[in-house]
Amino acid sequence: MNLPASITQHLNEADKRLEHHPKLQQLYRNCFPNTLETTTKLLDDGTTFVFTGDIPAMWLRDSTEQVRHYIPFAKDDPELRRILRGLIARQMFYVNIDPYTNAFNETANDRHYMATDDCNLSPWMWERKYELDSLCFVVLLAYMYWKETEDASIFDDACYQALTSIVHVIRTEQRHAEQSPYHFIRQTDKDTETLQNNGRGMPVNYTGMSWSGFRPSDDSCEFGYNIPSNMFAVVILGHIQDIMSEVYRDERLAASAAKLRKEIDFGIRTYGIVDHPKYGKIYAYETDGYGNYSLMDDAGTPGLLSIPYIGYTDNSDPIYQNTRRFALSFDNPFYFEGQYAKGIGSPHTPGGYVWHMALSMQALTADNDEEIKMLIDMLIATDADTGYMHEGFHPDDPTDFSREWFAWSNSLFASLIKMAMDKGLV
């Protein structure tokens, strides 16, 4: 598709700004518009379908992150507003089909990642992994667009229905074993692709937090309460409270969201913090409420590294700083180092792979300029001369990578370089 005028203007300005660094100039020229140029489809019904890249499906989470860096340009660009409004409408449409689904088809074409999944698949669903963060990203996109553009036309009946459903599901999953209809079984040898306990997940204790079947990486949760996703839920429930009060004038639902927000935050503070013998108090990645914890971090957003990015706290929070030191150390089982890179990977990709998204996120949440510049240099040096970012790559051989066409990774890198330009770091 043709780029909206504001994006073309920005890219021309960035070309001049980065002309002293030809490789970075080309990377930014490729990555910043990548979603609009290659993964965005304007549909006849006025909605926008944003697929993830090398997979023909639209993830609720990915599609938000793929366009997030465009939002600041939308206020004075009608064409860009139409694209974003259409995406918001499409996300709400999908949530109203099923709030437990993470990735959808463009049409009800009955295509699936694995048609044999036992999880009540429908023709609309590419994959039905319940990920709490997916619902959070839907709310975030609508809220950020509204605050940037002051365009309240997105808040129609379908949006109201979807936001109501999101609150209901998050509350239902506070008591997953007793109240939830959800299960997921995949016939695979890979433990991270299915839920234990006949598809219900391992038992959890009531904590106030909300259960999630899968992580932002699409791997199954080891323990049902994913702390970064619950932090994100605290943030977006505040957004729902604002929307219900200011737009829909529904004080009952606003109060329900506020109450749920308080309960989840209590759970995080009570059950989600571990006293680590080396780092002091840190946030766990997951817990079951019975005293079991997963101490790790994953490259997917939201993760522990991205806590300031999702808006739960800022990077001066001492518990976050302790957690960050843990996550960026070999005490995190998914932290890896090599000749060309060091950073966080994921059980979703081969052992030892570092993710470009984790490097971008580390820089976006850093509190010193030297770390940011070091990470930008690392990202530039590990694109394998493709001109784009990837998913995971081997830190001793960046030409050994996964996902040549992964728009979310390109967008997050673009967000970092835009921030660095605004701060005068590149």
* pLDDT at site 11: 98
SS3 content of the chain, % helix, strand, coil (to 5): 50, 10, 40
* pLDDT at site 13: 98
Question: What are the angstrom distances between the C-alpha of 243 and each of 63, 109, 236, 341, 395?
Answer: 21, 34, 10, 42, 44
178-191 per-position pLDDT tens digit: 999 999 999 887 77
Q: Could you give the angle at the alpha carbon of 173 between the alpha carbons of 168 and 176, nearest 5°?
A: 140
* pLDDT at site 46: 97
Domains and CATH numbers, the chain: 5-422 (1.50.10.10)
Q: Could you give the angle at the alpha carbon of 347 between the alpha carbons of 344 and 350, nearest 5°?
A: 90
What are the residues facing 103 on neighbouring strands?
A: 59, 127
* pLDDT at site 44: 97
What are the residues facing 78 on neighbouring strands?
A: none
* pLDDT at site 191: 77
41-65 per-position pLDDT tens digit: 999 999 999 999 999 999 999 999 9
Q: State whether the Cα torsion 152-103-334-182 is positive or negative.
A: positive
What does pLDDT average to in each consecutive run of 10 residues of the chain (426 residues)? 95 98 98 98 98 96 98 98 98 98 98 96 98 98 98 98 98 98 90 92 98 96 98 98 98 98 98 98 98 97 98 97 98 98 94 97 97 98 98 97 95 98 96
DSSP string computed for 124-189: TEEE----HHHHHHHHHHHHHHHHHH--GGG-SHHHHHHHHHHHHHHHHGGGHHHH-----B---S
Rounded to whole angstroms, the Cα distance separating 146 from 243 reads 9
DSSP string computed for 69-134: GGGGG-TT-HHHHHHHHHHHHHHHHHHHH-TT-SEE-SSS----S-TT-BS---TTEEE----HHH
* pLDDT at site 233: 98
* pLDDT at site 190: 75
- Structure pTM? 0.97
